[in-house]
Amino acid sequence: MKFHGNCHCGQIAFEVEGEIPDVMSCNCSMCQRKGALMWFAPGEAMTLLSPPEKCRS
């Protein structure tokens, strides 16, 4: 199944292909307020939809 996601500010968008076997709560204050959950997928399952120059290290 394909999932779409983005960073909190919306500047970075991505797609991930895979299944969601388990999720966990993020401990950052923004995710805690929104009730967001996260899961992990291998890097090769992710496709960056935003221009790479929008990503900062």
pLDDT at 16 (0 to 100): 96
Question: Which residue stretches of the chain are H helix?
Answer: 29-34
pLDDT at 33 (0 to 100): 92
Q: State the CATH number of the domain containing residue 33.
A: 2.170.150.70
User: Are 4 and 15 spatial neighbours (Cβ–Cβ below 8 Å)?
Assistant: yes
pLDDT digits (tens, 9 = 90+) for 1-51: 999 998 888 899 999 999 999 999 988 999 899 998 999 999 999 999 999
pLDDT at 57 (0 to 100): 59
> Does pTM top 0.85 for this prediction?
no
Q: What is the residue range of 16's domain? A: 2-54
Angle at 16 between CA 12 and CA 22, to 5 degrees: 115
Give how many domains the chain has, as a whole number.
1
User: Are 43 and 4 spatial neighbours (Cβ–Cβ below 8 Å)?
Assistant: no
pLDDT at 55 (0 to 100): 84
